[in-house]
Chains A and B, each alone.
Chain A
Amino acid sequence: MLEKKTKIYWLFILPGCLFLTFFMLIPLFSLIFKTFMDEGGAFSLGNYFALLESTYFKQVFWRSIRLSLISTAVCAVLGFPTAYYISKYAKNKGMLMALAVFPMFTSPVIRSFSWMVILGKKGIVNDLLVQSGIVAKPISLLYNEFSMVVGFIQLFLPLMILSLIGIMDNISDDLNLAAGSLGASRMEVFRQVILPLSIPGLVTGSVLVFTGCLTAYTTPQLLGGTDTRVLATLIYQQAMSLGDWTQASAVAVVMIVITILVSHVINRISRKLNPTI
């Protein structure tokens, strides 16, 4: 590196820094600051107490957490074997990776539409259910928590698969062979070698899926109903339909705090568990 007494680097950094400070940081801190004030401008936790006292907010909050957790768990369960197969067995790995990336490049609006077609009253799932006699007439599969979770899983499963493949590709096949030649069964190799070594990928993937679900707006907006609001749709509704900017701000702060907390705390724990990362 050149060790001149030059200050030119400031010219390179400053425009971006100013842009982000002016249009993102200052607005963000104004928002956070404002939530800790009452109407007169004095310090107050009133906005947060109001949230705590609101049964509606608590419902929405726990629904968000619950649906995100369920979606993350399903993504992990489905993503793990899939990633393992692609990383270790698949001959057409590039093709499978590309097919996992394609939905990620496709608008969440389109992906939610497709579920509206599939799960709708006239959709293929209802056709099959009626034809097979399981139900007498089409049932409502849309605009509830079920359709939201389905949408979330399809939205974020590729992230889980790609995070896991990234880690599994680095697990040497020699470890597999060594464990096998020392007498471990396939299941034991999986449980004692592959699974522990894949934890970092699982953690990264889970954090991405969880925070993704928690903050997603399009999917719950299109596949959820008015009585299945989540944090993201609540912010939008309070700000744009009800004009309650203060409450919307407090909910936004709650969302930021959870997102940052989850990604930091979980990453820290995983680093403690596996110091080699």
Chain B
Amino acid sequence: MKKSKSLLIITLLVYVFLIGPLLVIMAASFSDTTYLKFPGEGFTLRWYEQILKVKSFGSAAKNSIIIAFAGTFVALLLGLPAAYALNRYRFGGKEFIKSLFLSPVLIPVIVLGFVMLRYVVNRFKLPALPSLLIGHTILSIPYVMRVVTSSLANFDFSMEEAAKILGAGNIYTFFHILLPNIKSGIVSACIMAMINSFNNVSLSAFLTSAGVSMLPIEMMAYVEYHFDPTIAALATLLMVITLGVMLVIEKTLGLKSVV
């Protein structure tokens, strides 16, 4: 096929453009030079050791992980019952409620961060960690809502009724009938939400304080003063973790179910 050949070339170039820079960062992390450089010179692993020596990275990474997990968990607590009710019961105002739960994706995150700082954090004198938790929960709610709604759409609610007729209680039915059936939807929603939360900058930029920071914010602050391969080493580490997560998703749920 003649046509597919020119298409193939464009596709290859596009992928070089998309993936190439990430490979450059990975290669630069092994460079034995004091500044970030590609192609690098020599080979060293000392920049990976250096990551541990930068104190701010450790505490920021801890915060980022805590907030990603906790924010997604709270979003699940708030979003799952709502998605369930929207699919299960008949009542007015459904469209409005659904768009309320999806609305955080419509509002620019940078605006959300600013609004929260001005009208929630400053007004109620909230410390940084709870404000970050609230903000990241808001970010995660639409992910939970969208994915859980679509898996509930495929759930046959008569199974739930059957269980109840056979004498199962509400709680038993929820954990043994409903949850196993929408499990993969919930897991993929959570993974997406957590990755999004972990990588978020715009919201955290407003909500972090002097003592409480998040990893992406610290990374940005670090390059302002040091442009050495430490940052490339940290980036490589994060990309390897991301790749691992993607492989696990592909093996268990299939990437298609996530994106």
List A residues at the B interface (Cβ < 8 Å).
1-3, 6, 8-9, 11-13, 15-17, 19-21, 23-28, 30-31, 78-79, 81-82, 84-86, 88-90, 94, 96-111, 113-118, 120, 122-124, 153-154, 157-158, 161-162, 186, 211, 214-215, 217-218, 221-222, 232, 235-236, 239-240, 245, 248-249, 252, 255-256, 259-260, 263
At the interface with chain A, which of B42-50, B51-59, B107-115, B176-184?
B107-115
Contacts of A157 in B (CB 8 A): 14, 17-18
Do residues B114 and A248 form an inter-chain contact, with CB atoms below 8 A? yes
Residue from the list A16, A99, A153 in contact with B82, Cβ < 8 A: A16
Q: List 29 A-B contacts (CB under 8 A).
A: A1-B157, A12-B85, A13-B82, A16-B101, A16-B141, A17-B97, A20-B101, A24-B107, A78-B17, A84-B7, A85-B7, A96-B15, A107-B201, A108-B201, A109-B201, A110-B22, A113-B232, A117-B24, A117-B25, A124-B38, A215-B109, A215-B110, A217-B205, A218-B220, A232-B108, A235-B111, A236-B206, A252-B110, A259-B107
Q: What's the least CB distance linking B189 to chain A, in Å?
A: 14
Contacts of A103 in B (CB 8 A): 18-19, 22
Interface hits, B170-229 → A, CB 8 Å: 195, 198-199, 201-202, 205-206, 216, 219-220, 223, 227
Given contacts A20-B103, A101-B246, contact A1 B90 (CB under 8 A): yes
Do residues B238 and A107 form an inter-chain contact, with CB atoms below 8 A? yes
Q: How far is the CA of A23 from the CA of B202 in the complex (A)?
A: 17
Do residues A102 and B246 form an inter-chain contact, with CB atoms below 8 A? yes
Contacts of B82 in A (CB 8 A): 12-13, 15-17
List B residues at the A interface (Cβ < 8 Å).
1, 3-4, 6-8, 10-11, 14-15, 17-19, 21-22, 24-25, 28, 35-39, 77-79, 81-82, 84-86, 88-91, 97, 100-101, 103-104, 106-112, 114-120, 134, 137-138, 141, 157, 161, 195, 198-199, 201-202, 205-206, 216, 219-220, 223, 227, 231-232, 235, 238-239, 242-243, 245-246, 250, 255-256, 258-259
Residue from the list A3, A100, A105, A239 in contact with B114, Cβ < 8 A: A239
Q: How far is the CA of A107 from the CA of B197 in the complex (A)?
A: 10
Do residues B106 and A26 form an inter-chain contact, with CB atoms below 8 A? no
Q: How far is the CA of A109 from the CA of B22 in the complex (A)?
A: 11
- Other A-B pairs, 5, CB within 8 Å; known A85-B10, A101-B246: A16-B79, A101-B255, A106-B199, A107-B198, A157-B18
Do residues A81 and B84 form an inter-chain contact, with CB atoms below 8 A? no
Q: What's the least CB distance linking B177 to chain A, in Å?
A: 14
Q: How far is the CA of A208 from the CA of B93 in the complex (A)?
A: 28
Do residues A217 and B202 form an inter-chain contact, with CB atoms below 8 A? yes
Residue from the list A107, A116, A248 in contact with B216, Cβ < 8 A: A107
Given contacts A16-B101, A100-B18, A110-B235, contact A215 B108 (CB under 8 A): yes
Do residues B18 and A15 form an inter-chain contact, with CB atoms below 8 A? no
Residue from the list A31, A107, A118 in contact with B24, Cβ < 8 A: A118
Do residues B10 and A105 form an inter-chain contact, with CB atoms below 8 A? no
Name the residue on A nearest B122 (C-beta).
A245
Q: What's the least CB distance linking A43 to chain B, in Å?
A: 20
Do residues A113 and B231 form an inter-chain contact, with CB atoms below 8 A? yes
Q: How far is the CA of A161 from the CA of B11 in the complex (A)?
A: 10
Q: What's the least CB distance linking B1 to chain A, in Å?
A: 7
Given contacts A16-B141, A109-B216, A232-B110, contact A86 B11 (CB under 8 A): yes
Q: Which of A1, A94, A103, A113 has the most CB of B within 10 A?
A: A113
Do residues B21 and A118 form an inter-chain contact, with CB atoms below 8 A? yes
Q: How far is the CA of A214 from the CA of B109 in the complex (A)?
A: 11
Q: What's the least CB distance linking A265 to chain B, in Å?
A: 14
Contacts of A116 in B (CB 8 A): 36, 223, 227
